[in-house]
Homo-oligomer: A and B are copies of this chain.
Amino acid sequence: MNAEIIAVGSELLLGQIVNTNAQFLSKQLANIGVNVYYHTVVGDNPERLKGALEIAESRADLIILTGGLGPTKDDLTKETIASHLGKKLVHDEVALSSIEQYFQTINRVMTDNNRKQALVLEGAAVLPNDHGMAPGMVVTVNERSYMLLPGPPKELEPMFSQYGEKEILKLQPINDKIVSRVLRFFGIGESMLETEIDDLIDGQQNPTIAPLAADGEVTLRLTAKAKNEELAHQLIDKTEQQILARVGEYFYGYDSTSLMNELFQELDARNLTIACAESLTGGLFQQEITSISGAGDVFKGGVVCYATEVKKHVLNVKKETTETYGAVSAACALELAENVRSLIQADIGISFTGVAGPAKQEGKPVGMVFIGISIKGREPKYEQLQLAGTREGIRLRTIKHGCHFLLNSLKE
């Protein structure tokens, strides 16, 4: 079964928002063995939407449309599909009463344009919207299926996972299982990684090997096809072993994990708590670790010591240190790591100080970064980096280097 995803919305074509729905759906469809060959984005314009539908019908068995189901006048997806397929729109009573209920819950008056959201294509299977108002739907005409989903990701994602995927599994004939596994690497560039495993990529068939670089990391996606999942996993295992024999030192985890998540798991497994002092990263490390549910088991708290006086007064960095070496220095990073650990009473302290840019600081270049680590009962240590890129990029990669440095230190 081949699918095409059509996102409807002029706000996408104007660049007001990014098409995360296509990413989410592609990932979910890959997991259940549905090939996605095209994404299309088209505006809130019935004629152009019809044109895009006709092209999609020439190349896909399943067409998923996202957006344009809302209450406002530019929401035209249902009406356009109905006219294209020669189907009527009818009120769905369940959806209508759920919309009325929704307004009661959030304690707002239900305006009349919301009733339009309860219209569905005649004969369609209705997908309930547990996080908003407009229901989704699936209808099959001439052996081709059309799934309509709401635009807001916080409505679309749970709707698809809970109800949409099941409808697709009903449509799809039984065939080979497709299994994917992503290997994640840090500290090696994409072209170097590919050169190291060049012959493996050349010889690839099943599994296929697809490299991708993003945000200072490189990933390899291995995708295998087999009669059942177990066999597919065996094929992937074998290729993975060959790859890791060559570049295993840069490997840190699988699939959607992150360096922060690996660090969290490691700290949790070792029953260690951590505190953090952040200067150039301004809270990014702490925000990332606390975005993990259950963070409180390992993360206690920390200080954002953006101004030099906060480094001195709150974290007791010595006057001599800032005067002799500056706030951007190995000495300052070491004191910050040690002192935040004792202030917060944690097992580990980690610190970040450096120049995020756009301007130099203390005569030091943009991208100069020091990371300090203090582990109870061990000598504190630091890592010095020279990063390139934008302010945001430098901050992000600083955090990744910090996670990597601490992970390696723990495993020593």
Contacts and interface: CB of A to CB of B under 8 A. Distances in A.
Contact of A40 (B39, B299, B391): B39
A108 B12 contact: no
A75 to B, nearest CB: 10
A253 interface: no
A284 B285 CA distance: 10
Interface residues of A, number: 107
B38 A210 contact: no
A392 interface: yes
Number of copies: 2
A247 interface: no
A195 interface: yes
Given A301-B304, A304-B303, A13 B41 contact: no
* Residue from A12, A14, A182 whose CB has the most chain B CB atoms within 10 Å: A14
A295 B361 CA distance: 14
A400 interface: no
A20 interface: yes
Contacts of A302: 283, 303-304
A71 B314 CA distance: 49
Given A15-B29, A299-B306, A302-B304, 18 more contacts: A10-B210, A13-B39, A15-B22, A15-B24, A18-B20, A18-B22, A51-B59, A71-B190, A111-B195, A113-B198, A152-B213, A282-B287, A286-B304, A287-B287, A291-B391, A301-B306, A303-B314, A314-B343
A306 B300 contact: yes
Interface string A376-412: 0000000000001111110100000000000000000
A12 B38 contact: no
4 tightest A-B contacts by CB?
A: A282-B290, A15-B27, A283-B283, A15-B26
Contacts of A30: 14-15
Nearest to A158: B390
A149 interface: no
Given A154-B390, A283-B284, A303-B302, A113 B195 contact: yes
Interface in A1-40: 7, 10-20, 22-30, 36-40
Given A293-B391, A295-B306, A11 B301 contact: no
A284 B281 CA distance: 11
A231 interface: no
A285 to B, nearest CB: 7
A189 interface: yes
Contacts of A290: 281-283, 304, 306
A390 B154 CA distance: 9
A201 B73 CA distance: 8
A367 B69 CA distance: 27
Given A293-B358, A344-B314, A393-B154, A37 B26 contact: no
A141 interface: no
A24 B303 CA distance: 35
A164 to B, nearest CB: 15
A40 B10 CA distance: 14
A283 B283 CA distance: 5
Nearest to A13: B36
A123 interface: no
A183 interface: no
Contacts of A213: 152
Contact of A74 (B28, B210, B389, B391): B210
Interface in A273-320: 276, 278, 281-287, 289-291, 293, 295-296, 299-307, 309-310, 313-314
A306 B278 CA distance: 15
Contact of A307 (B114, B301, B389): B301
Nearest to A38: B42
A43 interface: yes
A310 B296 CA distance: 12
